[in-house]
A and B are shown apart, each in its own frame.
Chain A
Amino acid sequence: MTERIVVDPVTRIEGHLRVEADIDDRGVIKDAFSSGTAVRGIEVIVKERDPRDVWAFVQRICGVCTSTHALASIRSVEDALDIKIPENAHLIRNIMNAAVFLHDHVVHFYHLHALDWVDVVSALDADPKETSKIAQSISDWSNSSPGYFKEVQNKVKKLVDSGQLGIFANGYWGHEAYKLPAEVNLMAVAHYLEALDWQKEIVKVQTILGGKNPHPHYVVGGMATPLDINSDNGIHAERLGHISQLIDQANTFINQVYIPDLLAIGSYYKDWTYGGGLNNYLSYGDFAPKDHYDIDSYRMPRGVILNGDLSKVHDIDLKDPTQVQEFIDHSWYEYKGKTQDGGLHPFDGETNLHYTGPEAPYKHLDTDQAYSWIKSPRYKGQPMETGPLARIMISYALGRKDVKTLVDDTLAKLKIPLSALQSALGRTIARGLESVLIAKWMREDMDQLLANIKNGNQVTFNASKWEPETWKKSAKGVGWIEAPRGALGHWIVIEDGKTKDYQAVVPTTWNASPRDKKGNIGAYEASLKGTPVADKKQPLEIIRIIHSFDPCLACAVHLTDLESDTQTEIRIG
């Protein structure tokens, strides 16, 4: 006999996610269902708009991975209109994207995910002297004295004593799935607070180069922020120095706090090997040193791995109509008036809202029917996992030296095999390891930008195709980037200077997708299967695994491609 349990809302994520899981009488998850429960509809809103404005609209798909959708969008327009951007603009975009990655990964680890591994209340039992010893044995980070940890412990104590636990209220404290000693819990809580302070600093890279964060500004054709080291209104030595300092601080924080914490926590959970899932991995690739169209030069490579077979990395072509397709068999949409049909490539994509789910309030979704606002993207018919684990696996399979060294060292430290990475913990480790590399690339790109300026190159914008009169009558383009959560693609069709069609296929759409017609389940659903749940009323194991993907639901379900003249056809419930 199985019992259906529900986690809704899944918190410490972006957006509105519901998970239903069938648990057998041994307490093991037999089947799982992931549902996006909100929809807005941004792609229809950008129709008929000026393609140069679209980045601002689609940027609002997500305020967590802020700027990733803006970057994908301007790249799609530049691809469609064949606009080449100056090298400096490319470097500035890389530096801004790296800032998002590092902010996102650190905030994910400490503020969204850590509490699945770290028992905050247990930190009260810690001996601060022992915590200090542990901290000093794993890192040179200077905030490591017994007095420092005592002060943090006092903060937690006073919070608990006040009776107002705030964000920590009603957590699963004391759950048997928490394995860390009190001393390590205390160290992690201290770094939770330090990371909360640090995260507001790294985003200043985006503020200097894009004016604000969240939601910095971009422009098709380059960057609007002018470089001029001899103007009080350009990016000059003070501004460049500020960015440099933030990059160096990021490298320090990641190498001295994030990574040592990750390894310390990981060492206590290395036997908890659940949460692997599909073993199909997808990356579009990104972080070219000079030119985004030089795909071979990507420091974060492109590729596809199927069934965990690392001996073969397949290629992917985003414009091939047979490769990336979206299906709606279990989603609340229609294709041309039909609830089920084949898949559509994003250039031909459409999304008409068709809610057939239960009326509120409800206990369970009917998962035999449509059960999510998320569509099911597939690569040649296969569901894929995308994100840090996919990128690390693809880099590893391609024999990338930097990744291989980092991964092999980490596996040796934890005394685990490569296959152990195919788990929730592995996903979390992969996220940390790629942060090390991205922080390094960020420094490299900054150094290159400084070298260019020194050589007299301060150009950031190509104005030659700014005016719509210079554009082809009709054009199609794809913009791809690697976002913190994985492969992100935007497909635009431009006609007569306006946006005719627009589709985005987003990392969380890949990962959180419901099953397709053939019954292929998505990455979240696959990762939960076979996991034992100790206490059905407190399913910590479920949220731990789901959080390892770093869900971003507003991204996944922003899709609506509603023709204004078919609005009356929307049928509800």
Chain B
Amino acid sequence: MKKQKTIYESALDQGISRRDFLKMCTALAATMGLDFSQTDNVVEAMETKKRVPVLWLQLQDCTGCSESFIRSTHPKIESVIFDMISLEYTEVLSAASGVQVESNLETVIKKYKGEYILAVEGSVPDNAGYLMVGGKSAKDTFIRAAENAKAVISYGSCASWGGIPAAYPNPTKAKPITKLVKNTPVILVPGCPPIAEVMTGVIAHIITFGEIPELDVAGRPKAFYRHRIHDKCNRRAYFDAGLFVESFDDEGAKQGYCLYKVGCKGPTTYNSCAEMRWNGGTSYPIQSGNPCIGCSESNFWDNGPFFTRRAKVPGTQITINPDKVGVAVLGATAAGVAIHGAATVAKKKHDEKIRGEE
């Protein structure tokens, strides 16, 4: 086995200048929500770390998470898979198929025990017959790969919460992967799918700092899931002013009024959409006139309907009447506070529930 090169060495080898390398580190630091002064830490880490082996397992999924991942703008996906990590097993990109790709998986589990990262998308069905890969139970393969990993990254809402396969009536009795991991740290990166730069940002954090990012009580990186979309929404001023879209394509929609009354789940959804936006900062659903469906929240499929705002905030006794929200500015502020309070209570209860299950 040849000596493995550090990320910096391999960057130099690939003709990347020191200057470009430093720029890449700065972009990485920004992606991870780090202060500019922390760029030095990123530089140091990239200069000294080897490419970390990554296994990517797809369970009951739609490949939407893998697809989102390859859309990463900063860092670019080419940098991620050729400079930062060594993606040894992926059903989407691996050149090898069949026994050859299965042997890649086995080699990594054996050779890099405790050192590799396991990325997972998709939920796990109750019964092996519902999900076989390589003639083996994908659930068993996952458990084995997770036991020997340094950390598990749970990409998407299916792996993190159960997602769409687990929506009522959950025909395959699908479960989130968290139920099957015992001693390996798990990072939840929910979303349907998650934002590309959040996905690569989490990997960059682990590689740069040699540790998993600080997580909230639900197990999500604080850097990306600390705020509700509502907190940073570009339509927020209209919510506070009590100006709402009543129907799609109406005058309010054209003016950019708040989408709360057409179902927006932004006030109860923790994600970076309003902050980082999608596809290199191009837009996000609310900016493009569509109500948020809350796709990074646990059980969001069963918290619909999507185009109607429930008068009652789920999980609380606090009710609000959307039609009366923000009749006057003063009223709007009061109601706004009430909604935030309610959402916080709902969130807290939810987190307690998750902790209780652990």
Residues of A within 8 A of B (CB): 6-16, 18, 37-42, 44-45, 49-50, 52-53, 56-57, 60-64, 66, 111-112, 115, 120, 151, 154-155, 158-159, 161-172, 193, 196-197, 199-200, 203-204, 207-217, 219, 221-222, 224-226, 228, 231-234, 242, 332, 353, 355, 357, 359-363, 458-461, 463, 466, 537-539, 543, 554, 560, 562, 564, 567, 572-573
Given contacts A9-B134, A11-B91, A211-B290, contact A158 B129 (CB under 8 A): no
CB <8 Å contact, A6 and B140: no
CB <8 Å contact, A461 and B96: no
Name the residue in B248, B249, B295 with the highest tally of chain A Cβ atoms < 10 Å from its Cβ.
Answer: B249
CB <8 Å contact, A41 and B171: yes
26 contacts between A and B (CB under 8 A): A9-B98, A11-B90, A11-B94, A12-B93, A38-B130, A40-B174, A50-B306, A60-B163, A62-B62, A64-B62, A111-B93, A120-B95, A159-B82, A172-B100, A197-B76, A211-B290, A214-B64, A215-B192, A215-B295, A221-B248, A222-B249, A231-B255, A355-B127, A355-B129, A361-B136, A560-B171
Answer whether residue B284 sits at the interface, using C-beta atoms and an 8 A cutoff.
yes
Given contacts A200-B73, A460-B249, contact A233 B254 (CB under 8 A): yes
CB <8 Å contact, B171 and A45: yes
When C-beta atoms are compared, the residue in chain B nearest to A539 turns out to be B98
Given contacts A16-B131, A212-B283, A233-B254, contact A11 B101 (CB under 8 A): yes
With beta carbons under 8 angstroms apart, the residue of A10, A12, A212 that contacts B279 is: A212
Interface residues of B in 1-39 (CB under 8 A from A): 1-2, 4-5, 10, 13-15
CB <8 Å contact, A166 and B87: yes
CB <8 Å contact, B131 and A38: yes
Answer whether residue B305 sits at the interface, using C-beta atoms and an 8 A cutoff.
yes
Answer whether residue B322 sits at the interface, using C-beta atoms and an 8 A cutoff.
no
CB <8 Å contact, A222 and B248: yes
CB <8 Å contact, A207 and B130: no
The interface stretch among B53-61, B313-321, B327-335 is B53-61
CB <8 Å contact, B169 and A162: no
Given contacts A45-B167, A207-B282, contact A39 B95 (CB under 8 A): no
Smallest CB separation, A11 vs chain B (Å): 5
| A-side interface mostly | loop
List of B residues within 8 angstroms of A12 by Cβ: 91-95, 97
Given contacts A196-B70, A211-B287, A222-B249, contact A543 B97 (CB under 8 A): yes
Going nearest first, the 3 A-B pairs with the smallest beta carbon separation are A63-B64, A233-B256, A211-B285
Interface residues of B in 62-83 (CB under 8 A from A): 62-68, 70-73, 76-78, 81-82
Name the residue in B64, B132, B247 with the highest tally of chain A Cβ atoms < 10 Å from its Cβ.
Answer: B132
When C-beta atoms are compared, the residue in chain B nearest to A63 turns out to be B64
CB <8 Å contact, A360 and B135: yes
Complex Cα gap A417–B147 (Å): 56
CB <8 Å contact, A355 and B130: yes
Smallest CB separation, A551 vs chain B (Å): 11
CB <8 Å contact, A363 and B135: yes
With beta carbons under 8 angstroms apart, the residue of B66, B94, B279 that contacts A213 is: B279
CB <8 Å contact, B51 and A40: no
List of B residues within 8 angstroms of A171 by Cβ: 95-96, 100
CB <8 Å contact, B77 and A37: no
CB <8 Å contact, A155 and B63: no
List of A residues within 8 angstroms of B78 by Cβ: 193, 196-197
Answer whether residue B253 sits at the interface, using C-beta atoms and an 8 A cutoff.
yes
Complex Cα gap A353–B140 (Å): 21
Smallest CB separation, B83 vs chain A (Å): 10
CB <8 Å contact, A554 and B283: no
CB <8 Å contact, B98 and A8: yes
Answer whether residue B278 sits at the interface, using C-beta atoms and an 8 A cutoff.
yes
CB <8 Å contact, A463 and B169: no
Complex Cα gap A323–B36 (Å): 64
In the complex, besides A61-B62, A207-B288, 4 extra interface pairs with C-beta distance below 8 angstroms are: A11-B91, A39-B172, A50-B304, A200-B77
List of B residues within 8 angstroms of A115 by Cβ: 95
Smallest CB separation, B75 vs chain A (Å): 12
Smallest CB separation, A207 vs chain B (Å): 4
Number of interface residues of B (CB under 8 A): 106
CB <8 Å contact, A60 and B64: yes
CB <8 Å contact, A164 and B86: yes
CB <8 Å contact, A163 and B1: yes
Complex Cα gap A61–B90 (Å): 19
Complex Cα gap A171–B96 (Å): 4
Answer whether residue B193 sits at the interface, using C-beta atoms and an 8 A cutoff.
yes
CB <8 Å contact, B101 and A9: yes
Complex Cα gap A500–B58 (Å): 31
CB <8 Å contact, A170 and B101: yes
With beta carbons under 8 angstroms apart, the residue of B1, B125, B128 that contacts A360 is: B128
List of A residues within 8 angstroms of B305 by Cβ: 49-50, 52-53
With beta carbons under 8 angstroms apart, the residue of A15, A213, A228, A232 that contacts B63 is: A15
Name the residue in B13, B100, B129 with the highest tally of chain A Cβ atoms < 10 Å from its Cβ.
Answer: B129
Complex Cα gap A64–B80 (Å): 20
Complex Cα gap A265–B292 (Å): 45
CB <8 Å contact, B133 and A214: no
List of B residues within 8 angstroms of A112 by Cβ: 92
Given contacts A170-B100, A213-B71, contact A204 B282 (CB under 8 A): yes
List of B residues within 8 angstroms of A539 by Cβ: 98
List of B residues within 8 angstroms of A203 by Cβ: 71, 279
CB <8 Å contact, A167 and B93: yes
Interface residues of B in 113-138 (CB under 8 A from A): 125, 127-138
Given contacts A50-B305, A170-B101, A210-B290, contact A37 B95 (CB under 8 A): no
List of B residues within 8 angstroms of A463 by Cβ: 247-250
When C-beta atoms are compared, the residue in chain A nearest to B13 turns out to be A158
Answer whether residue B336 sits at the interface, using C-beta atoms and an 8 A cutoff.
no
Provide the B250-276 mask, 1 if CB < 8 A to any CB of A, else 0.
100111100000000000000001000
When C-beta atoms are compared, the residue in chain A nearest to B12 turns out to be A158
List of A residues within 8 angstroms of B299 by Cβ: none
Name the residue in B87, B163, B196, B279 with the highest tally of chain A Cβ atoms < 10 Å from its Cβ.
Answer: B279
List of A residues within 8 angstroms of B168 by Cβ: 45
CB <8 Å contact, B63 and A162: no
Given contacts A9-B91, A166-B88, A353-B171, contact A213 B81 (CB under 8 A): no
CB <8 Å contact, A200 and B279: yes
Smallest CB separation, A563 vs chain B (Å): 9
Answer whether residue B289 sits at the interface, using C-beta atoms and an 8 A cutoff.
yes
Complex Cα gap A7–B97 (Å): 7
CB <8 Å contact, A162 and B51: yes
CB <8 Å contact, A169 and B62: no
Complex Cα gap A61–B127 (Å): 20
Answer whether residue B344 sits at the interface, using C-beta atoms and an 8 A cutoff.
no
List of B residues within 8 angstroms of A64 by Cβ: 62-64, 67
Provide the B219-245 mask, 1 if CB < 8 A to any CB of A, else 0.
000000000000000110000000000
Provide the B334-348 mask, 1 if CB < 8 A to any CB of A, else 0.
000000000000000
List of A residues within 8 angstroms of B60 by Cβ: 38, 40
Given contacts A45-B168, A211-B288, contact A57 B133 (CB under 8 A): no
List of A residues within 8 angstroms of B249 by Cβ: 222, 224, 226, 459-461, 463
Complex Cα gap A62–B92 (Å): 13
Complex Cα gap A80–B174 (Å): 32
CB <8 Å contact, A554 and B93: no
Name the residue in A53, A162, A221, A539 with the highest tally of chain B Cβ atoms < 10 Å from its Cβ.
Answer: A162
Given contacts A200-B73, A211-B287, A231-B254, contact A63 B66 (CB under 8 A): yes
Smallest CB separation, B276 vs chain A (Å): 11
CB <8 Å contact, B167 and A37: no
Answer whether residue B201 sits at the interface, using C-beta atoms and an 8 A cutoff.
no
Answer whether residue B293 sits at the interface, using C-beta atoms and an 8 A cutoff.
yes
List of B residues within 8 angstroms of A208 by Cβ: 282-283, 288
